[in-house]
Amino acid sequence: MRSNKVLPRDYFGRWWRKERTNGSAISEKLISFFHKLNITLSIPIYSYKDNYHDYFTGIQGSFRETIKNIKILNKKGVHVVPIIYISDKNYADLEKIIEFVTCFKCSSYRIDFIYPKIDKPEKIASIKNFMSIYNHIRKMLKIDYELYLTNRRINQCLFGKIAITLNGDIIPCQNARSQVIENIFSDNITLSEILKKGLLDNFWYLTKDKIEICRKCEYRYGCIDCPILTHEFTEGTISKNLFCAYSPLEGVWTNEKFYA
C-alpha cells in the first residue's frame, strides 16, 4: 500500500500529528503552535524521583523542568503523552512511575525501553536482560478494539514515524540507525517527497500478517511489540518478536525456548 498523504492517518481516518520532546525549553510561542495544529507531544519520564530522572538524562534539574512544563502544557490544552522509559535500573519501580504519571491527568501514557548498545559480545546478555524486563511489564500491556483494528492494517509502533539524525539520515524510528531511507542533505529530497513516494511504507504497513511465524498466530492483532528492536538485535531480520514466549504452532507459552 502506498502512502499518498503528507500526514498519515490512523485506521479511523484521523490525522496523526506527533512530536517527541524532552519537555524542556517550552515557550509560549511553541505552546500556541502545538495547540493550533493539535500536535501531540510525547515526553519521556524515567522515574518518579528527581535524582533518578536526572541520572538518566544526565542533566541536573531536568526532572523539575519536565514536570513543570507537562503541567503547563496540560493547562493550555496541549495533548501530552508521557513515555515511561524502562531499563534494568528502574523497571522495579514501574508501578510507582505509572501512578506518578497518572497524576498529570493525561489521557494516556506509553511504556517503552531504553535500548542497550548492541555490541556482539554483550548481545546475548542484553537480550536476556530485556526478556526479564519485558515479562515484567507484559501483563500491564492492554489491547482494545480500536488497537485491534489498527493492528490489522498498520504497524502500531512505526506508523506515522519519521526521524532525522544529526547528519541528515532519514530513518523510520530514532532507534533504527541501520535503516537509512535517504539523506536529506545529500539526496536532495524533501520529507514531503519521501512520504508521497511511500518510501516508509515497508515499515508503516509491517503487520503481523507479513511475518512468517506471526501470520499463523491467533493473537497477532493483539500483539504489542517493537519491530525495530528485533530488527537491530538480529542484524536486519524481519522476524518474530524476540521477547515473544508463545509458539503458535504448538499453542504453548514458554520462556525456556528463548534461552535455548
DSSP secondary structure string, 74-116?
HHTT--EEEEEEE-TTTGGGHHHHHHHHHTT--S--EEEE-PP
Contact present, 173 and 180 (Cβ < 8 Å): no
Contact present, 66 and 24 (Cβ < 8 Å): yes
Question: In this structure, what C-alpha cell is assigned to residue 233?
Answer: 538485535
Model-level pTM? 0.59
Cα–Cα dist 165/20, whole Å: 14
> What are the pLDDT tens digits along the chain (260 aa)?
333 333 444 433 444 456 667 777 778 888 888 888 777 888 889 999 999 999 888 889 999 999 999 999 988 888 888 888 887 788 788 889 989 998 888 878 888 777 655 444 444 445 555 555 555 555 556 678 888 888 899 988 888 888 887 788 888 887 777 888 888 887 778 877 888 888 889 889 989 998 888 999 998 898 877 777 666 655 556 777 766 778 888 888 775 444 33
Q: Which domains does the chain have, with CATH numbers?
A: 11-114 (3.20.20.70)
Phi-psi region of 188 (alpha: psi -120 to 50; beta: other; left: phi over 0): left
Cα–Cα dist 55/31, whole Å: 27
Cα–Cα dist 224/158, whole Å: 11
